[in-house]
Amino acid sequence: DAGVIQSPRHEVTEMGQEVTLRCKPISGHNSLFWYRQTMMRGLELLIYFNNNVPIDDSGMPEDRFSAKMPNASFSTLKIQPSEPRDSAVYFCASSFQGTFNEKLFFGSGTQLSVL
Amino acid sequence: QKEVEQNSGPLSVPEGAIASLNCTYSDRVSQSFFWYRQYSGKSPELIMSIYSNGDKEDGRFTAQLNKASQYVSLLIRDSQPSDSATYLCAVNIDLRTNAGKSTFGDGTTLTVKP
C-alpha cells in the first residue's frame, strides 16, 4: 500500500486566495483526520470523518475552513480566503477504527505558506 | 490545563543511555495511548501503543501506563543518535462513537549525543 497520500507537498499563496489540500487515505481505513501543526500550537485536530461522515469539526478554526469527504478514498480541506496565520503544516491521517485499533497513519503533509 | 501534557524538553542523553519521556493526561475515561516519533521535517509515525496498566516492551522501547495516576511514559534503552527526534504522546479520549480521535501533547525533543 502506498500509504496516505497528500497533495500538494508545498503550497505558497497570497492572502485572500483559496487553498485546497487533498488527501487519499489508506485503502480499507474508515476514518480520516485533518491535523494542523505549528511551533506555537503543536499538532491540533481540525476535523475527523468516520465512514465519510464528519464526526467532530470543533477544531476547525473558523468558517473560512471547510472539509469534505465525498467518498472513502478522497478528502479535501479548503481555506477560503486564506490568511498569513493559516501558514502551517497540514497533515492528513487515516486509521481503521475498531476496538483499540485507532493507530493513525499520517501522510507526508502539506507545507502551506500564506504571504 | 491541557488535555495531554509532556515534558517540555529538550532532552539530551549520551549514546547508550536510557531516555525517559513522560506524559500526563486529564481525562480519566481515556482508553488508548500512543507514542509517535517525528523526525524534523517529517510526519509522525507510530512507535508504541498501550491500552492496559503496566509495561509493554518492543525492542529497545518500553511504554508504561498508570491509569490511576493518569500517566504514560516511554523508555528508550541503549539510545542511538538515530533516536534523535520529537516524541509525541497521543491519547484517545472521545468514546462517544467508535471513531476515537487522538489528542496530542506538544512533544518532547530528544537529542542523543554520540
Q: Which tens digits make up the pLDDT trace of A55-90?
A: 889 899 889 999 999 999 999 999 999 999 999 999
B58 residue type, one letter: D
Residue B76: strand pairing partners: B19, B61
Query: Looking at the complex, does the CB of residue A97 fall below 8 Å from at least one CB of chain B?
Result: yes
Q: Residue B89 carries which DSSP code?
A: E
**CA atoms of A18 and A24, how far apart (whole Å):** 20
pLDDT band at B3 (very low <50, low <70, confident <90, very high): confident
**CA–CA gap between residue A70 and residue A65 (Å, rounded):** 17
Euclidean distance between CA atoms A76 and A8, whole angstroms:
11
CA distance A47 to chain B (A): 9
Residue B103 and residue A45: Cβ atoms within 8 Å? yes
**Which one-letter DSSP state was computed for residue A29?**
-
pLDDT of residue A99 exceeding 70: no
Mutation target vs A (from B30, B35, B43, B52; most A CBs, 10 A cutoff): B43
**In this predicted structure, what is the pLDDT of residue A74?**
96
Considering only CB atoms, which chain A residues are within 8 Å of B31?
100
Shortest alpha-carbon distance between residue A91 and chain B (Å): 8
Closest residue in B to A105 (Cα–Cα): B45
Lowest-pLDDT choice from A62-76, B17-31, B73-87, B90-104: B90-104
Nearest by CB to residue B99, choosing from A42, A55, A106, is A55
Phi, psi (degrees; rounded to nearest 5) at B81: -55, -30
Separation of alpha carbons A51 and B99, rounded Å: 9
d(CA A72, CA A94): 11
Out of A45, A98, A104, closest to residue B46 by CB? A104
Question: Quick check: A104 and A93 in contact, CB under 8 A?
Answer: yes
Cross-strand pairs, A110: A90
Q: How far separated are the first and last CA of chain B, in Å rounded?
A: 37
Identify the helix (H) or strand (E) that includes residue B24: strand B19-25
Q: Are B11 and B18 in contact (CB under 8 A)?
A: no
Q: Are strands A74-79 and A53-56 parallel, antiparallel or unpaired?
A: unpaired
More confident position, A13 or A56: A13
User: Which A positions 33-62 lie with beta carbon below 8 A of chain B?
Assistant: 33, 35, 42-45, 48, 50, 55-56
